[in-house]
């Protein structure tokens, strides 16, 4: 494939023959390490840029091309297998933009002499390609891609790969080709098991799959997952079946494979689709790219194929790649950089959180200088050291994280990470009984931050109570937690510096108004570990009252979307710790109910309410909550973008999310195929464009305000 100017711009620049020779050696060594053990000296993006630079140099200096060059070779020429493929198992050429995709589709149609009838579009899974041979319906052999002509026998891995059944639904003889990878969950489990047995953690899921697939005689086993992306007959296949398979479009072949019991991407959010036009193909590419952060497995691009067998045959194949398929590569979400240090920050609840300081690196369009390290136990498990080369991962809006050190790049100069012996904020002792360390003073360690957070716009929204004023109240001994705000008197405030009668009265009025905030705001103000604005709304909508929340055990809390076993335990423990504060808030007249929410069913309470209603000849003193009617947004996922106007103009984004959820919907921050409605204000930008591409319903702020008018008064 000719190297275009756009590709050259993204490639490594090789100034002369010496630089070219060095680049060929580096790329070849990196490919050999990756395909041998899963441990490459380069991350995926760096390798791609280096190979593109090599290709660009060879295009302008064809007489200097090295026989060792990775260009034009499957797996970069790094692998030689001993099991011949019956049909070459080729790689894919790449494009990196909509313009390059358009140029490629045009070249395919010129080659076959007619428009392509239909394109197949599917995610490019980030794993290792293998061929699974079935004989009379039984799994007989697993073979890697190798150099495309022959691969390695990795049949020892049979039984560890989910998605490859031992026996097909029909006794057919054929070969299924696909990708073996580790899901996020499998990767985390693999590294836990690996480190428990004294091994270094894998740098990323792709390397984990490559290393695990080839491993033999380990003391432990870990699971991987297979996704089929192709199928072909073998020389011993039934002749009629082989003839029919040769005529089926790619999409029908994959439907057939799935029917045999082989795992494909059909049941995932990035299920393959067949499309007619290049515009439709590009829209699906954008849709898959938007879904990338939400996927439980890695993808590094999108594969576009001519779907019809006749079109594929007419386009043909080169020595390295078919001419009827291309990979549209997405920006890298992982890079290798240096761990320069670790900062220990104390949060408003007293949690001591480590943060990695990195040599700045460009990932997915932004510069990353810091990454989360979770907790000391995580640092120990990953075996991190200052000076390590580390694999940093970033996807969408997710905070960058370090996957693992690239242990084979260590020089011996790396230093251990020193854990704090006292609280970095106040010098008090540290509670190390849980994985997340915490100052023994808890919230009191960061009292100003804790009270300021509670008073913030998205919590109690107390206007006039900024951090400077909170410091003043704390230093005067008037506030020891945010419940004390509701006991402040006019005289106490007037005694403070720079507090006149007007500012005092305004602050007292704002505090009084905070008593009426919905339960979700009050719960969020508590700063319960493991919860935030969205989770506070879900908990409050589910339980309806603070009394019901406090009465819930860990099992009951797990009924709330997004709360698992461990988080439920944390919430229960936090609420027990916060009990005195909650009691004082209740005594101060702070609202402890969620408007429009109905408590979960309780047989005893229902029976008591019914008895009371019978005795009174009606409702039980108005205490039994009626069943909530479905709101106008029931079952809908709603995204808000741009500046709101009219009745919505003064609502913060958090208040908009509250409004959506009170009206029965689910708020989201990104547009995807699951989005039901986009509320597009002024300067809506890319989210509106995305919604147009997906055919998502779009409404203006005024139209949305009319739709949820009955719930507007409850927001605030």
Reported confidence tier of residue 82, pLDDT bands at 50, 70, 90? confident
Rounded Cα gap, residues 363 and 366, in angstroms: 6
Q: What is the per-residue pLDDT for 80?
A: 54
List the catalytic residue out of 124, 335, 394, 690.
Answer: 124
Q: What is the per-residue pLDDT for 302?
A: 96
Its pTM stands at: 0.56
Q: Which residue has the higher pLDDT, 210 or 713?
A: 210
CATH number for region 442-514: 1.10.150.20
Q: Would residue 124 show up in a list of annotated catalytic residues for this protein?
A: yes
Residue showing tokens 């057919």: 172
- The number of beta carbons lying within 10 Å of the beta carbon of residue 382 is 20
CATH number for region 637-712: 3.40.50.10190
Reported confidence tier of residue 36, pLDDT bands at 50, 70, 90? low
Q: Which residue has the higher pLDDT, 589 or 663?
A: 589
pLDDT tens-digit profile of 560-592?
888 888 889 989 999 999 999 999 999 999 999
Lowest mean pLDDT among 222-236, 245-259, 357-371: 357-371
**Would strands 666-668 and 637-641 be described as parallel, antiparallel, or unpaired?**
parallel
Tokens of 620: 């039980």
Fold (CATH) for 84-329:
D-amino Acid Aminotransferase; Chain A, domain 1 (3.30.470)
Question: What's the average model confidence in pLDDT over 673-681?
Answer: 90
Lowest mean pLDDT among 96-105, 515-524, 629-638: 629-638
Query: How large a percentage of the chain has pLDDT more than 90?
Result: 49
- Mean pLDDT estimate for the chain: 85
> Burial, 714: exposed, middle or buried (Cβ in 10 Å; 0-12, 13-18, 19+)?
middle
pLDDT tens-digit profile of 508-559?
999 999 999 999 999 999 999 888 888 999 899 899 999 999 999 999 999 9
pLDDT tens-digit profile of 389-416?
998 887 554 578 887 788 778 889 999 9
Reported confidence tier of residue 470, pLDDT bands at 50, 70, 90? very high
Reported confidence tier of residue 349, pLDDT bands at 50, 70, 90? confident
Q: What is the per-residue pLDDT for 610?
A: 38
> Do residues 54 and 77 lie in contact, with contact meaning Cβ atoms separated by under 8 Å?
no
81 pLDDT exceeds 90? no
Q: What is the per-residue pLDDT for 138?
A: 95
Q: What is the per-residue pLDDT for 451?
A: 93
Among 419, 340, 346, 430, smallest CA distance to 380 is for 419
CATH number for region 519-597: 1.10.150.20
Question: What's the average model confidence in pLDDT over 317-325?
Answer: 92
479 pLDDT exceeds 70? yes
Lowest mean pLDDT among 187-201, 351-365, 373-387, 416-430: 187-201
Lowest mean pLDDT among 57-71, 358-372, 603-617: 603-617
Among 468, 439, 467, 442, smallest CA distance to 454 is for 467
Between vectors from CA 185 to CA 414 and to CA 674, what angle results, nearest 5°? 125
> What order do you get walking across the sheet with 161-162 strand by strand?
138-144, 128-135, 174-181, 224-233, 161-162
Q: Which residues pair with 698 in a beta bridge?
A: 678
Q: What is the per-residue pLDDT for 683?
A: 82
Domain positions in the chain: 5-78, 84-329, 334-431, 442-514, 519-597, 637-712
Identical fold for domains 442-514 and 519-597, yes or no, is: yes
Query: How large a percentage of the chain has pLDDT more than 70?
Result: 89
Rounded Cα gap, residues 705 and 495, in angstroms: 44
> Do residues 229 and 122 lie in contact, with contact meaning Cβ atoms separated by under 8 Å?
yes
Between vectors from CA 397 to CA 459 and to CA 363, what angle results, nearest 5°? 145
Question: What's the average model confidence in pLDDT over 141-157?
Answer: 90
Tokens of 468: 């400077």
Q: What is the per-residue pLDDT for 255?
A: 94
Q: Which residues pair with 225 in a beta bridge?
A: 162, 181
Name, in order, each residue with C-beta under 8 angstroms of 291's C-beta and a sequence gap of 6 or more: 269, 270, 672, 673
Alpha carbon distance, N-terminus to C-terminus of the chain? 59
User: For the range 415-421, what are the long-range contacts, defined as Cβ-Cβ under 8 Å and sequence gap of 24 or more?
Assistant: 415/385, 415/386, 415/387, 416/385, 416/386, 417/342, 417/354, 417/379, 417/384, 417/385, 417/386, 419/376, 419/379, 420/344, 420/352
155: enclosing H helix or E strand = none
CATH number of 334-431, picked from 3.40.50.150, 2.40.50.140, 2.60.40.10, 3.30.70.1050? 2.40.50.140
Question: What's the average model confidence in pLDDT over 694-705?
Answer: 92
């Amino acid at each position: 494939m000719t190297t275009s100017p756009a590709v050259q711009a993204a490639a490594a620049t090789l100034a002369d023959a010496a630089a070219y020779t060095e680049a060929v050696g580096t790329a070849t060594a990196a490919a050999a390490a990756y395909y041998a053990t899963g441990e490459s000296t380069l991350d995926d993006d760096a390798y791609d840029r280096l190979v593109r630079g090599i290709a660009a140099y060879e295009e302008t200096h064809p007489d200097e091309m090295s026989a060792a060059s990775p260009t034009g070779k499957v797996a970069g020429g790094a692998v030689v297998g001993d099991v011949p493929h019956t049909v070459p198992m080729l790689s894919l050429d790449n494009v990196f933009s909509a313009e390059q995709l358009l140029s490629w589709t045009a070249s395919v149609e010129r080659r076959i002499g007619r428009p392509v009838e239909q394109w197949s579009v599917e995610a490019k899974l980030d794993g290792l390609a293998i061929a699974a041979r079935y004989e009379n319906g039984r799994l007989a052999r697993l073979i890697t891609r190798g150099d495309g002509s022959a691969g390695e026998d990795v049949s020892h891995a049979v039984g560890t790969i989910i998605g490859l059944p031992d026996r097909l639904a029909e006794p057919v003889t054929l070969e299924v080709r696909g990708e073996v990878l580790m899901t996020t969950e499998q990767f985390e489990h693999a590294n836990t098991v690996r480190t428990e047995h004294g091994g270094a953690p894998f740098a990323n899921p792709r390397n984990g799959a490559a290393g695990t697939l080839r491993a033999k005689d380990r003391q432990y086993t870990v699971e991987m997952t297979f996704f089929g992306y192709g199928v072909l007959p073998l020389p011993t296949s039934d002749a009629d079946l082989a003839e029919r398979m040769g005529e089926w479009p790619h999409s029908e072949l994959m439907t057939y494979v799935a029917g045999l019991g082989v795992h494909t991407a059909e049941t995932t959010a990035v299920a393959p689709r067949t499309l007619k036009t290049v515009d439709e193909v590009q829209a699906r590419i954008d849709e898959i790219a938007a879904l990338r952060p939400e996927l439980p497995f890695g993808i590094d691009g999108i594969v576009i194929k001519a779907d019809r067998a006749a079109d594929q045959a007419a386009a043909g194949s080169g020595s390295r790649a078919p001419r009827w398929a291309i990979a549209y590569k997405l920006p890298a979400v992982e890079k290798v950089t240096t761990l320069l240090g670790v900062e220990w920050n104390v949060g408003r609840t007293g949690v001591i959180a480590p943060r990695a300081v990195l040599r700045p690196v460009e990932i997915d369009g932004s510069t990353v200088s810091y990454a989360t390290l979770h907790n000391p136990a995580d640092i120990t498990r990953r075996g991190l050291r200052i000076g390590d080369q580390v694999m940093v991962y970033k996807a969408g809006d997710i905070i960058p994280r370090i996957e693992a050190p690239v242990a084979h790049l260590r020089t011996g100069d790396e230093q251990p990470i020193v854990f704090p012996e006292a609280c970095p904020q106040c010098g008090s002792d540290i509670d190390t009984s849980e994985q997340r360390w915490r100052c023994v003073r808890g919230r009191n360690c960061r009292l100003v931050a804790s009270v300021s957070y509670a008073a913030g716009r998205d919590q109690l929204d107390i206007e006039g109570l900024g951090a400077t004023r909170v410091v003043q109240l704390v230093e005067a001994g008037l506030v020891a937690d945010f419940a004390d705000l509701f006991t402040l008197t006019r005289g106490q405030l007037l005694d403070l510096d720079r507090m006149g009668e007007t500012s005092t009265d305004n602050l007292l009025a704002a505090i009084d108004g905070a008593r009426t905030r919905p339960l979700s705001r009050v719960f969020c103000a508590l700063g319960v570990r493991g919860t935030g604005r969205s989770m506070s709304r879900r908990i409050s909508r589910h339980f309806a009252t603070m009394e019901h929340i406090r009465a819930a055990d860990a099992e009951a809390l797990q009924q709330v979307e997004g709360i698992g076993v461990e988080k439920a335990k944390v919430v229960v423990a936090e609420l027990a710790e916060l009990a005195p504060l909650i009691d004082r808030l209740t005594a101060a007249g702070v609202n402890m109910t969620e408007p429009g929410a109905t408590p979960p069913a309780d047989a005893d309470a229902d029976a008591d309410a019914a008895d009371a209603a019978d005795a009174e000849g009606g409702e039980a003193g108005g205490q039994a909550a009626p069943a909530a009617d479905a709101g106008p947004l029931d079952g809908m996922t709603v995204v808000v973008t741009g500046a709101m106007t009219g009745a919505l103009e003064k609502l913060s984004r958090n208040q908009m999310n509250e409004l959506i959820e009170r009206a029965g919907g689910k708020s989201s921050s990104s547009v995807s195929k699951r989005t039901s409605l986009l509320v597009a204000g002024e300067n809506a930008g890319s989210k509106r464009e995305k919604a147009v591409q997906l055919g998502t319903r779009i409404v203006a702020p005024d139209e949305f305000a009319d739709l949820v008018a009955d719930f507007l008064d409850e927001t605030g």
